[in-house]
Amino acid sequence: MLNEILAYVSPSVPGYFSGIALTAALSVIGASVGILAGLFGVGGGFLLVPLMNVLLGIPIDLAAGSATCYIIGASASGIVRHWKRRNIEISAAVLLSAGSIFGALTGDFLQDFIIHTLAGGNREMFEKIMQGLFVVILFVIAWIMYKNPGERKGGKTVLQKLSFGPSVTLRVSGQEGVNAAGLFLIGFSGGVLTGLMGVSGGVLFLPILVLGVGLLPHLAVGTSLTVVFVSSLTAVLKKGLSSPDKVSLPVAVSLLVAGTIGVRLGMIISGKISGSALKRYFSIIALSAAVMVLVKLFF
């Protein structure tokens, strides 16, 4: 039985590399993305899937599933740190997480819909559609990092202006009358990204949580990590229960071990290089990744 379980969680990984060469290549990618993540204060999940797909030739759905599995481990350690410092806005985290559970399930269903219905079972077409989605996401991330949205300037947030349905109070951030359905929808959108593309979407959601919801920046990071953990956990459970070809545990473990070391190295380096303009350089990296996927898409 153990052998069957191990075979289930370790599907064969098609691509340009196999065996030790694949582990080494994944470790290099994991460490590099980890360093960038630690340096720029982002999750970096949105770089993992395109890099695994374009540079290693791993099918995009397997790359996305394995990256989601990696995100579980990466966010778990972050949650412990933020929980100890009370950096999680519980009421917002509960509503966002509830939305993210439905979103993650929808995202995985959407991935199946694209493979079987939209692409008619044609894997090449499916890869092209997903690569196109990644180009869009990477351009949006590059734009957000370039604009580098700052802190909120006071007044009512977008979610406080919505008058329909029930509202909640965010005690630690001191925000009253925050629309509950809005929080649920934000969580839902993040979950869809995780279930469909294997990205946590933290870069996209941090500005939304700070500017749109009104969370204090340090609370936004802890709360976002909690939501990312819940959505990736849901997505991996759903993928694991539906098919053995969607998640590879050895791939996720290789990324995680090297990625954790990389994140710490990146954090040490970022402590020595100061300046808020640093984040803008990250937009160049996201832009380069978008161009790389675009080249793969057309050539």
Distance CA 36, CA 58 (A): 22
Find the shortest distance in angstroms from Cβ 116 to another protein: 20
Binder of another protein out of 114, 140, 237, 287 (CB under 8 A):
237
Residue 58 neighbours by CB under 8 Å, 6+ apart:
13, 14, 15, 52, 66, 251
Q: For another protein, which is the closer residue by CB, 147 or 264?
A: 264
Least distance (Å) from another protein to the CB of residue 278? Answer: 22
- Sign for the CA dihedral angle at 117, 295, 31, 285 comes to negative
Candidate ranges 77-85, 161-169, 209-217, 281-289; the one touching another protein (CB under 8 A): 77-85
Q: In whole angstroms, what is the distance from residue 33 CA to residue 289 CA? A: 12
Stretch that binds another protein, among 72-80, 174-182, 201-209, 285-293 (CB under 8 A): 72-80
Between 191 and 214, name the residue whose CB sits nearer to another protein: 191
- 77 Cβ neighbours under 8 A, 6+ residues apart: 260
**Exposure string (b/e) for 23-61, b if CB count within 10 Å is 16 or more?**
bebbbebbbbbbbbbbbbbbbbbbbbbbbbbbbbebbbb
55 touches another protein (CB under 8 A): no
- Binding flag, residue 240, another protein (CB under 8 A): yes
Q: Which of 72, 203, 227, 251 binds another protein (CB under 8 A)?
A: 72
Q: According to CB under 8 A, which one of 18, 77, 122, 288 is a site residue for another protein?
A: 77
Site string for another protein, 252-281 (x = CB under 8 A): xx--xx--xx--x-----------------
Residues 6+ apart with CB under 8 A from 32: 262
- Taking alpha carbons only, the member of 138, 130, 152, 150 closest to residue 277 is 150
Task: Between 36 and 208, name the residue whose CB sits nearer to another protein.
Answer: 36
Site string for another protein, 4-23 (x = CB under 8 A): xx--xx--------------
244, 269, 271, 288: which one binds another protein (CB under 8 A): 244
Tokens of 125: 């077409």
H/E segment holding residue 168: strand 167-170
**Contact between 44 and 255 (Cβ < 8 Å):** no
**Which residue in the set 25, 31, 104, 233 belongs to the binding site for another protein (CB under 8 A)?**
233
**The binder of another protein chosen from 54, 67, 69, 101 (CB under 8 A):** 69
Question: Which residue matches tokens 């229960």?
Answer: 241
What is the Cα–Cα distance from 48 to 232, expressed in whole angstroms? 15
Considering the rule CB under 8 A, would residue 1 count as an interface residue with another protein? yes
Number of residues near another protein (by CB under 8 A): 31
CB 85 within 8 A of CB 177: no
7 or 295: CB nearest another protein: 7
Q: Which residues bind another protein (CB under 8 A)?
A: 1, 4-5, 8-9, 69-70, 72-77, 80-81, 233, 236-237, 239-241, 244, 247, 249, 252-253, 256-257, 260-261, 264
